[in-house]
Amino acid sequence: MLIRKEFLQVFRNPLMLGILIVAPMVQFLLFPFTADYEIKVLNIAFIDHDRSATTQNIMNDFSSTGYFINHGTIDSKAIAEKMMLRDKIDFIIEFPSDFEKNIYNREHTTIAITANAINTVKAGIGTGYVQNILGEYLQEMMDENNINTREYAQIYATNIYWFNEQMNYKNLIVPGILVILVTLVGAYMTALNIVREKEIGTIEQINVTPIKKWQFIVGKMIPFWILGMAEFVIGVILMKLIFGITVQGSIPVILAITAIYLFVMLGLGFFISSMSENQLQAMFIVFFLFIVFVLLGGIFTPVEGMPDWAVKINYFNPLAFYMEVIKILVLKGGVLADVKTQFIALSVMAVILDTAAVMSYRRTSN
């Protein structure tokens, strides 16, 4: 009965209905065309089939720049793919066998540059940096040996873009906007719910009923949880129909983790609502937390390029964990094992915040 009441209350209020459905869909369709990214830090690793002094010198050149964090050599492309899947590296430079020999014999040789292209700006600019470093090294070799450019070997770079072969920035911004919308539905609307009941006086009528406090909170949560899940599913469908972005990983896993993430946001929203004295106060608190979550969550700025203190704050940022899930499952085709850490973190947050929501309501309404 309480769930039915909440649904009726939502659909009888044109303003709330517009906030829940119309505004998010307009934002979802408009924002991807107006957002872009910025690059700060690039993580790089090497596959060295040559193991020569030349390849070692080139790797040292990458270490000496201010843009690259050198993770050294790795044994195979399979290991590199796992590292890139978990966002540990952004670029893989693969040197062929006889690389040094071919250079000194004036024979052409090719270096494979593999980039994590989920962030297209990072991939594009980073590839340019890689090619510049390789070109500068070759020029230094020519200068040291007094060799004319026409007499020297040419190093060709083959660019490979993983997870986003067309280098379309919408492949990240569209799922990122979907994360923002799910967060808004979960936290913002629920933060205004209980405090609104306080302001209009209906909370006292509910308190005299035999319904238990946890039943009251669950009854409040379920309609917004259903609406949030429906909005996520609609967003996934629109991603496919309008932007051509399909979920590469497991759909049941992403739905399960989205369900957990919504309980995190619902718990946070109801906790704020229970502790707030009025709707304006609740809105300010949610707005503050929302801005922090978004700015630190890795949607617009790569987390690895942030200061250490910001990275540590993200340990308490549910949006950052959920954004990692979206990138791994939607864009990289990951499985549950690839998002195990995020799954556990969000589950713990859901238990803590939902329990806090129940406890805070009990404390403020007795």
| 135/254 same-domain check | no
| 111/180 same-domain check | no
| 146/238 same-domain check | no
Q: What is the pLDDT of residue 23?
A: 57
Report how far residue 90's alpha carbon sits from residue 62's, in angstroms, rounded to the nearest whole number.
Answer: 13
Report how far residue 109's alpha carbon sits from residue 101's, in angstroms, rounded to the nearest whole number.
Answer: 10
| 249/273 same-domain check | yes
CA–chain centroid gap for 202, Å, is 39
Which stretches of the chain are assigned E, i.e. beta strand?
42-48, 68-73, 91-95, 109-116, 155-162
Judge whether 357 and 274 are in contact, CB under 8 Å. Answer: yes
CA diameter of the chain = 92
| 250/314 same-domain check | yes
Judge whether 7 and 54 are in contact, CB under 8 Å. Answer: no
Q: Domain of 127: which CATH number?
A: 3.40.1710.10
| 359/222 same-domain check | yes
| 156/305 same-domain check | no
Q: What is the pLDDT of residue 78?
A: 82
Q: Which pTM was predicted? A: 0.68
Q: How do strand 42-48 and strand 91-95 relate by DSSP bridges?
A: parallel
For the chain, what is the total number of helices (H) and then of strands (E)? 17, 5
Q: What is the pLDDT of residue 347?
A: 96
| 19/55 same-domain check | no
Q: Which of 140, 162, 184 is the last residue of a domain?
A: 162
Q: Which of 109, 127, 162 is the last residue of a domain?
A: 162
What's the number of domains the chain is made of? 2
Q: Which of 318, 322, 348, 350 is nearest to 258 (CA)?
A: 322
| 260/356 same-domain check | yes
Which stretches of 196-244 are assigned E, i.e. beta strand?
none
Q: Which of 38, 22, 18 is nearest to 30 (CA)?
A: 22
| 229/305 same-domain check | yes
Residue 192 gets which letter from DSSP?
T
| 190/293 same-domain check | yes
Token duo for residue 39: 């690059």
Q: What is the pLDDT of residue 261?
A: 96
What is the extent of the structural domain holding 30? 2-35+169-365
Q: Which of 162, 188, 203 is the last residue of a domain?
A: 162
| 285/355 same-domain check | yes
Q: What is the pLDDT of residue 262?
A: 94
Low-confidence ranges of the chain (pLDDT < 70): 1-3, 5-40, 119-121, 142, 145-160, 162-169, 199-211, 301-302, 304-305, 361-366
